[in-house]
Amino acid sequence: MGIKAIVLILLTVIYLYETALNVIKMRSVNNPIPENVADVYDPETYRKWKQYHGEKTRLALITSTVSWIISMLLMVFNGYAAFAGLFPKTLFMQMLAVMIPSALTDLLLIPFSWYDTMHIEEKYGFNRSSGKTFWADQLKAFLISLILMAAVGGLLIWIHQALGDWMIVVFAGVLMLIVLLIVFLFPIFSKIFNKFTPLEDGELKERLTGLLEKHGYHVRGIQVMDASRRTTKSNAYFTGFGKMKTIVLYDTLLNQMTPDEICAVFAHELGHGLHRDTLRNQCLTFLQMLIIGVLAWLTLRSAAIYPPFGFDGVNYGFAVILIMSVEFALIAPLFGLLVNWFSRKAEYRADEQAVKEGYGEALIEGLKKLSKENLADLSPNPLLVKLTYSHPTLSQRITAIKKLSKEQKTTD
């Protein structure tokens, strides 16, 4: 079998896997709701949830079908090489030329994203974006991804030309540096999309800083993000490294929760901090980069891959497309299995921190509110949880929190 046929089959396998996940998701809408989360939705909200998930999944199915058809057409008819033919024969220009169809595909998919934000999210009351914010977001995201693609492609050419087979080690190292840089620059990047203000002085701030001080945990500040500009969904997270570490609370979280519940969510985030969960995530990212480095090395030394797709020789842009949308896309679900398993364990441990601080009950109430506001799936298919969930289900978390609270009471 030719290389072209293999690539087309693999693209289809990846598409079918995504489709299977979406179909399972659609079916789990009718799973019975566990007893300990039966009070999260009232019948009206539950009906709304079913519709919301149905519409979201249907759109995901359509979007992935459209992008699969476009990639198949581009591969079958040597579309990438056709674009490359229009550009000067330098390595860099040839790489950029191949990126153009991918960028155009992104543009074609904007209507789906528009339908998602302005129609579905709007209909269920999540969306706060104006048309202007939506287009500004699309433009910013498009420019950032274009610059990143050109930078990574350019780097690949430079390193491969200078080092040959030795590139693999250096490439993974450099990619890791880029990841660290993105983590480091994330607070700056997020400022392109949102406004951050320090949490105002008062009882809440005192309680939160008290929690941090108790564990000798230093952060640069507690910031409130104007998430309500785009969404009614709420969240909290850590960002930055070492002394630059900042805790970000969505303003929606502050508006929807009682002080006890906010402290509980905060103690959960502190749990992540104390267990160095971010560091572990960065290690896993590094492993991922190493895998991509190996794939890049293999893809660039196999010159026979390129001619069947219309190229004279190695094209670095096409190599990036093969690595990301075929080779890594095949490994990603397995990798996700591992990453999500670690992540779900970390979530239980972070919940434990909140219980230790005496916020077990408040955390349960807070999580119920979060799930309700975010229209979370209360009874997802267990296989779906194992494959794709970074967090345990609400029901699983409540069971664990209750068990821990009971153990704590008996030892007190």
Residues that bind Zn ion (CB under 5 A): 347, 350
CB 408 within 8 A of CB 355: yes
DSSP for residue 30: G
The two beta strands, 221-225 and 246-250, are: parallel
Report the residue number, 293 or 360, with the smaller CB distance to Zn ion: 360
- The minimum distance between CB 195 and Zn ion, in angstroms, equals 24
Report the residue number, 209 or 235, with the smaller CB distance to Zn ion: 235
Report the residue number, 99 or 208, with the smaller CB distance to Zn ion: 208
CA distance 363 to 302: 53
CA distance 92 to 98: 10
Report the residue number, 75 or 363, with the smaller CB distance to Zn ion: 363
CA distance 355 to 268: 9
- The minimum distance between CB 268 and Zn ion, in angstroms, equals 6
Report the residue number, 347 or 377, with the smaller CB distance to Zn ion: 347
- The minimum distance between CB 264 and Zn ion, in angstroms, equals 12
CA distance 294 to 168: 6
- The minimum distance between CB 297 and Zn ion, in angstroms, equals 35
Q: How far is CA 18 from the centre of its chain?
A: 16
- The minimum distance between CB 276 and Zn ion, in angstroms, equals 13
Report the residue number, 18 or 347, with the smaller CB distance to Zn ion: 347
Packing angle between helix 259-274 and helix 360-373, nearest 10 degrees?
Answer: 100
DSSP string, 179-212: HHHHHHHHHHHHHHH--EEEPPSSHHHHHHHHHH
- The minimum distance between CB 391 and Zn ion, in angstroms, equals 7
Instruction: Show contacts of 205-210: CB within 8 Å, 24+ apart.
Output: 207/259, 207/263, 208/262, 208/263, 208/266
- The minimum distance between CB 272 and Zn ion, in angstroms, equals 6
Report the residue number, 219 or 350, with the smaller CB distance to Zn ion: 350
CB 387 within 8 A of CB 337: yes
